[in-house]
Amino acid sequence: MAEENDTLRPQSQMPDSTSRPVGGTEFSWCKAVPGGTGITVLGLLFSKPPNIPVIQTALQNLQNSHPILGSKLHLDTSTNSYQFVIPPNPHIHITQFDLKSTSDVINGNSNDHFTNLFHLIHEHEMNRNTWRTPSDALPTDTDVFDVSVYKISDQQWGVFLRLHTSACDRAAAVALLRELLELVGGRVKEGKEAEMGFGDKKNINLPIEDLIPEGKANKPFWARGLDVLGYSLNSFRLANLEFVDAHSPRSSSVVRLRLNTDETERLLAGCKSRRIKLCGALAAAGMIATWSSKHLPEYQREKYAVVTLIDCRSILDPVLPCNHVGFYHSAILNTHDVCGETLWELAKRSYSAFENAKNSNKHFTDMSDLNFLMCKAIDNPALTPSSSMRTALISVFEDPVIDDSNGIAQQLGLEDYIGCASAHGVGPSIAIFDTIRDGSLDCACVYPSPLFSRELMQELIDHLKRILVDACNSEE
């Protein structure tokens, strides 16, 4: 049966708790997560049994290093406002599942077309939502971070870190994973604790809006109104994948896209020679695969929206280190007409549009506009086609995660890992979380089910992969 480590259960809020209101971007995630978008999960697959006490200690050290990880998200129902509240002695939940309870989870989420048990449990964790609204009879104070350990078989164990995206974006989750492995593997060198910031329990990171360089987010009121109107009207012209089931309750599912080292090297070389980033190629391949899946006449164009997420830590004031935990991404939304272009033609066009928007500071000037529209879509799903709440065809990150293996992974028996976030509430049809792991591209592609079927999405991702590989093979 499932067992919860009760010795370190969080205490109720104390008088000397530290707190701050959430920022504008954080608030939009607080609105999105109850509906199913923004539950970040890091899933780790081990071939050796995890040492729970060591993991517990490592996680507590991470909470000391990054206080927001020990916070509770408090909802004031009278004002519909949120706060991060850090108790004086934050602790972490670790829930353990033995073989029988793991089997119960798997059987309750069975899918004939998805046999990888690690992936199946990862999906279960993404869809296990403890951040629903108080109307569901849940408390208004909930932890932003918890951990589950599953015994998958006699040779495999899964450790799943589940985080509220308002407190931890993708860059922070990657840093968290690396620090956790170092701590569990005993590789934290002397002086590294100070670098991580252990013991600074009173510091709550500022929201991104408070760190935008002066003047970068300035926009006249009339221009802001026109942009919001423009985004809204343009959304009615956007095409998408064909919906399979727009009425049944939704959950997030994952399909993985993988290239080998040779394919990845040629893809990156193709991007470099054209002075574009990988995100441009991934977005273009996704649009072409979608257009092709509809078997349209060669002359018929469709307009697709692409959201590109930018890690802003290096361009904030002050500049933040890459392991600064919180949500510090911004987004740029571009639309593109697609009608039979080649991969590199569309990749260059889409990346140029993104680059021009970034050079014009639209990731800062339009931040509040996109947050506002995101909240409006949550409150009024009927404003989106078939109430699907799809705001774009695809979302990509400006830069991939680069991960080169080291001895720690082998020492701990780490066989695989997946990092991504749920997207079945408001969001894109396909959210791509890309990693270049030991020179090979590995993408977790998250989509809302059954709005799209697994068969449809697997076929689309397979086609997307062929587009990338064929474009590289045709290079002279």
Same domain as 159, residue 224: no
Same domain as 254, residue 115: no
pLDDT of 16-61, one tens digit each?
A: 668 899 999 999 999 999 999 999 999 999 999 999 999 999 999 9
φ/ψ (deg, to 5) at 460: -65, -45
Instruction: For residues 364 and 361, give the distance between their C-alpha atoms in angstroms, rounded to a whole number.
Output: 5
Same domain as 461, residue 370: yes
Given this model, what pLDDT does residue 298 score?
85
- Compute the average pLDDT of residues 99-104: 92
Instruction: For residues 25 and 109, give the distance between their C-alpha atoms in angstroms, rounded to a whole number.
Output: 32
In this structure, the number of other CB atoms found within 10 A of the CB of residue 235 comes to: 19
Q: Pairing state of beta strands 37-46 and 414-423?
A: antiparallel
Same domain as 425, residue 390: yes
Given this model, what pLDDT does residue 110 score?
59
Q: Which of 88-102, 106-120, 252-266 has the lowest mean pLDDT?
A: 106-120
Alpha-carbon dihedral sign for residues 44, 46, 51, 52: positive
Q: Pairing state of beta strands 302-311 and 72-76?
A: unpaired
Same domain as 200, residue 217: no
Among residues 206, 233, 267, the one where a domain terminates is: 206
Q: What is the 3-state secondary structure (H, E, C) of the chain?
A: CCEECHHHCCCCCCCCCEEEECCHHHHHHHHHHHHCEEEEEEEEEECCCCCHHHHHHHHHHHHHHCHHHHCEEEEECCCCEEEEEECCCCCCCEEEECHHHHHHHHHHCCCCCCCCHHHHHHHHHHCCCCCCCHHHCCCCEEECEEEEEEECCCCCEEEEEEEEHHHCCHHHHHHHHHHHHHHHCCCCCCCHHHHHCCCCCCCCCCCHHHHCCCCCCCCCHHHHHHHHHHHHHHHCCCCCCCCCCCCCCCEEEEEEEECCHHHHHHHHHHHHHCCCCHHHHHHHHHHHHHHHHCCCCCCCCEEEEEEEEEECHHHCCCCCCCCCCCCCEEEEEEEEEECCCCHHHHHHHHHHHHHHHHHCCHHHHCHHHHHHHHHHHHHCHHHCHHHCCEEEEEEEECCCEEECCCHHHHHHCEEEEEEEEEECCCEEEEEEEEEEECCEEEEEEEEEECCCCHHHHHHHHHHHHHHHHHHHHCCC
Instruction: For residues 49 and 47, give the distance between their C-alpha atoms in angstroms, rounded to a whole number.
Output: 7
Under 8 Å between Cβ of 204 and 19: yes
CA of residue 205 relative to chain centroid, distance: 20
The residue to which tokens 């350990």 are assigned: 149
φ/ψ (deg, to 5) at 267: -65, -45
Instruction: For residues 48 and 36, give the distance between their C-alpha atoms in angstroms, rounded to a whole number.
Output: 32
Among residues 190, 206, 222, the one where a domain terminates is: 206
Same domain as 234, residue 115: no
Under 8 Å between Cβ of 436 and 231: no
Same domain as 452, residue 391: yes
pLDDT of 401-421, one tens digit each?
A: 999 877 788 888 999 999 999
Same domain as 347, residue 392: yes
Given this model, what pLDDT does residue 236 score?
77
Given this model, what pLDDT does residue 9 score?
32
Number of domains in the chain: 2
- Compute the average pLDDT of residues 79-88: 90
Same domain as 150, residue 263: no
Full domain range(s) for residue 118: 3-206
Paired strand residues for 74: 83, 141
Instruction: For residues 87 and 334, give the distance between their C-alpha atoms in angstroms, rounded to a whole number.
Output: 41
φ/ψ (deg, to 5) at 151: -90, 110
φ/ψ (deg, to 5) at 282: -65, -45
Q: What is the CATH number of the domain that holds 34?
A: 3.30.559.10
The answer to whether residue 229 scores a pLDDT higher than 50 is: yes
pLDDT of 409-452, one tens digit each?
A: 888 899 999 999 999 999 999 999 999 999 999 999 999 999 99
The answer to whether residue 203 scores a pLDDT higher than 70 is: no
pLDDT of 326-380, one tens digit each?
A: 999 999 999 999 998 999 999 999 999 999 999 999 999 999 999 999 999 999 9
Q: What is the CATH number of the domain that holds 394?
A: 3.30.559.30
Among residues 206, 240, 260, the one where a domain terminates is: 206
Same domain as 231, residue 161: no
Same domain as 183, residue 111: yes
Same domain as 372, residue 245: yes
Given this model, what pLDDT does residue 18 score?
86
Instruction: For residues 63 and 90, give the distance between their C-alpha atoms in angstroms, rounded to a whole number.
Output: 8
CB neighbours of 10 closer than 8 A, spacing ≥ 6? 72, 87, 90, 91, 93, 143
